[in-house]
């Protein structure tokens, strides 16, 4: 008989391929994320990382290949249906509203995830008030988890770059992901801020989320937090392994240096 869908990998993609007209942006990529893992997806600009995210989360239908989340084939599912299953992604663009406070941004994330509005529709009165209270409690717990308690009531416009990046993750957490996929979550951070950010991400696994899949150009961060790394180059898998093996892989160095020298 078939094994329990919860026993295997959380996310599994096979033969992921995306063609735009004559351009093959992603070719035959295989990717798995197991429960409890932080997986990095790296590669030079234009390697196909965001295109992979778009295929994994239903924003693009792959030209070829399949995506399974907790054993369910989600290849042709719509993005909102995939999000409801617990596969949540961030975008390269910010999801923070600058005029709202830190707390309000995270609370808004709960409503965006569509949980409270549905409840409010079907259960008026006391149940709605309880749902509202639970949303507020959950939002403040997330703010605390991300280390932003001191900034709870500060407008997002006053945050430092490091705090803003933490808030972006907090807003994504409000959707209650099982697997959270982050696309360049540490963009623009200095070394100290990236260190704080990385340590905070590590605390999320096994508590706020089961696993993380991260696209990131900051190598120090990637090497510091990831259990396993997949390297893309020109849309294809170049290497996969533990951070140390990836760091010492000459093909990986060449892909990055080749790009820099171009
Ligand atoms: N909608 C699209 N139509 C046509 N080409 C696209 C589309 N989306 C992406 N591409 C192309 O696919 C390739 C991969 O792009 P993608 O954005 O996935 O790269 P990336 O690895 O995320 O790069 P970066 O690190 O710069 O964010 C690029 O050549 C890009 O121009
Ligand atoms: Mg990208």
Superfamily for the 1-86+177-262 domain? P-loop containing nucleotide triphosphate hydrolases (3.40.50.300)
pLDDT of the chain along its 262 residues, tens only?
A: 444 545 799 999 999 999 999 999 999 999 999 999 999 999 999 999 999 999 999 999 999 999 999 999 999 899 999 999 999 999 888 889 999 999 999 999 887 766 555 556 566 677 777 878 888 999 999 999 999 999 999 999 999 999 999 999 999 999 999 999 999 999 999 999 999 999 999 999 999 999 999 999 999 999 999 999 999 999 999 999 999 999 999 999 999 877 544 4
The top-level CATH class assigned to 94-175 is alpha beta
Nearest to 202 by CA among 235, 224, 217: 224
Among 24, 50, 216, residue to substitute to test ligand 1 (most atoms within 8 Å of Cβ): 50
Q: How many Å lie between the centroid of ligand 1 and the Cα of residue 146?
A: 30
E strand or H helix that includes residue 158:
none
Q: How far, in Å, are 21, 28, 177, 215 from residue 218 at the CA level?
A: 31, 25, 24, 9
To 5 degrees, how large is the angle CA 21–CA 25–CA 31?
135
Q: How far, in Å, are 110, 145, 186, 189, 201 from residue 160 at the CA level?
A: 23, 18, 13, 10, 18
The whole-angstrom separation of Cα 244 and Cα 249 is: 9
Residue whose CA lies nearest to ligand 1 atom number 12: 25
pTM of the model: 0.92
The boundaries of every CATH 3.40.50.300 domain in the chain are 1-86+177-262, 94-175
Ligand 1: residues with CB < 6 A are 20, 23, 25, 43, 45-51
């Amino acid at each position: 008989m078939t094994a329990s869908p919860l026993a295997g990998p959380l996310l599994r993609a096979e033969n992921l391929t995306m063609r735009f007209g004559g351009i093959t942006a992603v070719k035959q990529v295989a990717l798995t994320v197991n429960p409890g893992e932080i997986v990095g997806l790296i590669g030079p600009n234009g390697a196909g990382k965001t295109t992979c995210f778009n295929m994994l989360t239903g924003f693009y239908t792959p030209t070829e290949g399949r995506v399974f989340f907790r054993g369910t084939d989600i290849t042709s599912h719509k993005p909102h249906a995939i999000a409801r299953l617990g596969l949540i992604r961030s975008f390269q663009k910010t999801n923070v509203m600058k005029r709202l406070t830190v707390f309000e941004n995270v609370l808004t994330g709960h409503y965006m995830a569509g949980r409270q509005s549905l409840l409010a529709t079907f259960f008026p009165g006391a149940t709605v008030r309880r749902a509202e209270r639970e949303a507020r409690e959950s939002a403040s717990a997330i703010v605390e988890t991300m280390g932003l308690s001191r900034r709870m009531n500060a407008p997002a416009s006053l945050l430092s770059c490091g705090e803003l990046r933490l808030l972006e993750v907090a807003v994504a957490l409000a959707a209650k992901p099982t697997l959270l996929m982050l696309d360049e979550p540490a963009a623009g951070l200095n070394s100290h801020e990236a260190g704080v950010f990385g340590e905070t991400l590590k605390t999320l696994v096994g508590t706020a989320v089961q696993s993380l899949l991260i696209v990131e150009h900051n190598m120090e961060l990637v090497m510091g937090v990831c259990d396993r790394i997949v390297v893309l180059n020109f849309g294809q898998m170049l290497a996969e392994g533990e951070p140390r093996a990836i760091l010492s892989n000459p093909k990986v160095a060449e892909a990055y240096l080749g790009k820099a020298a171009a």
